[in-house]
Structure 1
């Protein structure tokens, strides 16, 4: 094969990569209003990226913790109960490569302990674009409110995910995940949810998001402390009465603090939700336990320890003794394993 023929065959591939690199470094040249930027390279961000790409959206995963990661294409496969989704190539980049993110929706699927630093980095890049915080816990939006971001939305996830091996992620949806306004308006909320919602990974708009946040946070206080300490999977609560009895005590403590904050919840409803998640994600490891096994920092400080901090502020620290103790033990276990 002569040189001219090789050049003719290779030219389309070379051109595609040139355009891709230009797009990453100067995204404002290609203003795609339906672009979705997912910050965070964890399992849930990968699943969301694949679901959006399969439904025709322009999507890019941005590494939140690695500033200078080189841009790349990664093939990701999602394993679900109904079978594997088609393997999908996803663009992976870093924040340093983007001058602006104003032409799309910014989804935060990173670990919440990085929010303070991330809010500083994003201040000059986001403008009025909607930020959707897809994280567990209480108070995770605080840094973005303090920095004066215009449109802040919270997602409460009703799904679990787990990295199995390079490029393969397990996903177990339980129900449509709720998205609500922290700061902004309902029209933009509805438009944002419409963009994010797919058959594979459904979302819905929620007018009153705070009770939903608290209800899920209480379940997460249970899962993310008891499961790592027992070194077991999410299914323990529907399988073992003793584990469920401990969960009930944590739920009762947290529901009392929620009520003191003006959020009225019923313990039996929280328990029913916890058991639904336990059954649907039987065999799955909760994110905090995954983090401990992989020697990573956990988000327990936005769960049990944040509830304890709220109780302290309300002079009700005596109410959450077990919730706080389990959180402190989980934090200690995390530190000892790193």
Structure 2
């Protein structure tokens, strides 16, 4: 199968690299420095169990999605509509677009932008980072949960065969909210402190703050009619055990002076809370602090 990765960052490169290593034809679409390194040396896939240079195609242009039966859509939440517009003229009719993004509404936004394409939401559980141009470092986990559509069972089997544990769920909305709660609990705190998860949770007063964040998120999710799987508090407590050295994506963005996705994480919970009449003061405070820190990089 030809597969395109739109937004070849830490998430897209990990899954694209695993699929290419399994023999699929993969093209990464990303930034020039990264693309040059991949075209020259292949993608350096540095995982917990193996390290390999994986040859594959790469491009800086969205037209590279042409002919792909599967598109892993991995751009930042802030870029969903603009990236969809860039891809639109080149997409293969009938191609499946998997949204491998943070937040809970990206698949809906992508579907609205590309109404003639099949779009499926997915929940991503992977700790990875770009260690340099053409170099992806994997810190842990890697499983995916896909929304149930006519195509996703076959795609899930293909991903599993490539070493990516994947399941199909009829409650992907609940799984997306469960992942959002993890992000709301960890991302802003890791970004503000510029510390990995293990050191974040060891901070004075942090566990109580995280419990407050989770309580607010759960209240908003329930008011929104979402059926949450499992116990979100237990999930938050266990995440650090599998990713103690991971910096949140928000922390990585801020360290590079890039705009983060905080508006689609704690900011999203804050806005939904306002609409539903649910108070979210701790999520509001974390959102505000991250935005203030981001503003330091703004010349205005």
The TM-score normalised by the length of structure 2 is 0.89
Give the equivalent residue in structure 2 for 1:61.
28
State yes or no: 1:146 paired with 2:112. Answer: yes
In the alignment, which residue of structure 2 is the partner of 1:85?
51
Contact 1:70 1:93 in 2 (8 A): no
Shift of 1:209: 0.3
- Contact 1:159–1:174 (8 Å) recurs in 2: yes
Q: Does 1:233 align with 2:207?
A: no
Q: Which moved more, 1:122-131 or 1:319-328?
A: 122-131
Q: Which residue of 58, 72, 85 corresponds with 1:120?
A: 85
Task: Please tell me whether the aligned partners of residues 52 and 59 of structure 1 are also in contact (alpha carbons under 8 angstroms).
Answer: yes
Cα distance, 1:198–1:170 mapped onto 2, change above 3 Å? farther
Paired residue for 2:11? 44
Q: In the aligned structure 1, how far is the partner of 2:12 from the partner of 2:68? A: 19
SS at the partner of 2:24? coil
Q: Distance in 2 between matches of 1:47 and 1:174?
A: 11
**Structure 2: runs of 5+ lacking an equivalent:** none
Q: Is contact 1:233–1:282 with CA below 8 Å preserved after alignment?
A: yes
> 1:194 deviation in Å?
2.3
Residues 1:335 and 2:295 are matched in the alignment: yes
**Number of the residue aligned with 1:191:** 154
Q: CA deviation at 1:53?
A: 1.3
Whether contact under 8 Å (1:292, 1:334) holds in the other structure is yes
| Distance of 2:109 and 2:116 partners within structure 1 | 9
Instruction: From 74, 78, 81, give the equivalent of 1:109.
Output: 74
Q: TM-score, normalised by structure 1?
A: 0.80
Q: Which moved more, 1:85-94 or 1:279-288?
A: 85-94
Segments of structure 1 that go 5 or more residues without pairing to the other structure are 1-33
Q: CA deviation at 1:238?
A: 4.9
Between the aligned partners of 2:132 and 2:281, the Cα distance in structure 1 is 38
* Per-residue deviation, 1:81: 2.6
Which whole-Å deviations, capped at 9, do the CAs of 1:190-229 have from their partners, x for residues lacking one? 1222233345432221221000000110110111111111
Residues 151, 46 of structure 1: alpha-carbon distance in 2 compared, 3 angstrom cutoff: same
Tell me the distance in 1 between the aligned counterparts of 2:127 and 2:37: 29
Deviation at 1:172, TM superposition (A): 2.9
Residue 251 of structure 1: CA displacement? 0.1
Give the number of aligned pairs.
Answer: 295
Which segment drifts farther, 73-82 or 240-249? Answer: 73-82
Q: What CA distance in whole angstroms lies between the structure 1 residues aligned with 2:268 and 2:284?
A: 9
Cα shift at 1:274: 1.9
Contact persistence 1:50–1:76 (CA under 8 A): yes
Deviation at 1:145, TM superposition (A): 2.6
Alignment of structure 1 residues 1-338 onto 2, 5 Å:
34-63=1-30, 72-82=39-49, 84-98=50-64, 101-126=66-91, 127-147=93-113, 148-174=115-141, 176-181=143-148, 186-198=149-161, 200-236=163-199, 238-240=201-203, 242-265=205-228, 269-316=231-278, 319-337=279-297
Deviation, structure 1 residue 71: 9.3
Q: Is the 8 A contact 1:38 1:49 kept in 2?
A: yes
Cα deviation, residue 270, structure 1: 1.2
Q: Which digits, 9 at most, give the CA deviation of each residue in 1:143-187, with x for residues without a partner?
A: 323231431111111111012233332213336221114xxxx33
